[in-house]
Amino acid sequence: MKVAPIFLRRRTVWAPTLLGWLALLLIGAIAAIALLRGVYPFLAVTEPAGASVLVVEGWLGEKELDGAIAVFKSGGYRQIVTTGGPLHDWPETQSGPTAAHRAAGYLKRRGLAAVPITPAPSPLTLRDRTYTSALMVRAWAQRTGVELRKLDVVSRGPHARRSRLLYEKAFGPQVRIGVFAVPPPDYDPERWWRTSTGARDVAEQAAGLFWVKFFFDPLQEPGREQD
């Protein structure tokens, strides 16, 4: 039984040779290596704005806070603002200590006792904690009359680019946001893919940055409308 030519036609399809497949595999391997080596430096950006106020994210660990101390001493800053919410998950005990107060105390004990360090604690929140912290810093500046044209933020490794983006959303274009990425102590940033901790951290921060960049809308956050 012949099929009418109107329904079928013969076409020539080009397919890679063995050498072609090897070339494609080589290109893919090079691209994968470039991605592995490039994604961490992209996320862990350090681009200070030359501000006089340094924001230190209070959820950082001790070694990372030590890195924040080094940033302060080398940057010519006049004061520090620490951020972070309650150190527990129970709404009925919100009067307890916060990450902002804990970080401020650590910085003072580690050699910055004479430096003006102000905690800007956040309320208990289960989402958008960095953005909420940025709003608390903005509220502190408005409440105290501190005019901010520039602001530098110390964050942890691959979280840095997302922190800067969220602070930019909270403060708007009138404030230039800089950022410092202090290296995480629990994996090698240059070989982050060799440990589950590093792979999970980088993957989560990359996904978080993607979501903030394309889906996060401050105006849709309940009670968090911009001025």
- Give pLDDT, residue 24: 81
At 104, list the tokens: 């401020």
Longest Cα separation, the chain: 95
For residue 75, count CB atoms less than 10 angstroms from its CB and return exposed for 0-12, middle for 13-18, buried for 19 or more: middle
Is residue 165 within 8 A of residue 212, CB to CB? The reply is yes
Is residue 52 within 8 A of residue 215, CB to CB? The reply is no
- Give pLDDT, residue 214: 94
- Give pLDDT, residue 89: 62
Of 154, 164, 158, 165, the residue nearest 202 (C-alpha): 158
All structural domains of the chain, each given as residue ranges with its CATH number in brackets, are 39-88+98-220 (3.40.50)
At 4, list the tokens: 């009418």
Q: What is the mean pLDDT of the chain?
A: 88
Is residue 137 within 8 A of residue 56, CB to CB? The reply is no
Query: Could you tell me the pLDDT band of residue 198, with boundaries at 50, 70 and 90?
Result: very high
Cα gap 167→44, rounded to integer Å: 16
Residue 4 DSSP code: P
At 81, list the tokens: 């603002």
Residue 130 DSSP code: H
Q: What SS3 state is found at 58?
A: coil
- Give pLDDT, residue 223: 46
- Give pLDDT, residue 222: 45
At 44, list the tokens: 């862990």
| Comparison of pLDDT for 62 and 25, the residue scoring more | 62
Cα gap 163→154, rounded to integer Å: 9
Which backbone phi and psi does 108 adopt, to 5 degrees?
Answer: -65, -40
Cα gap 196→2, rounded to integer Å: 60
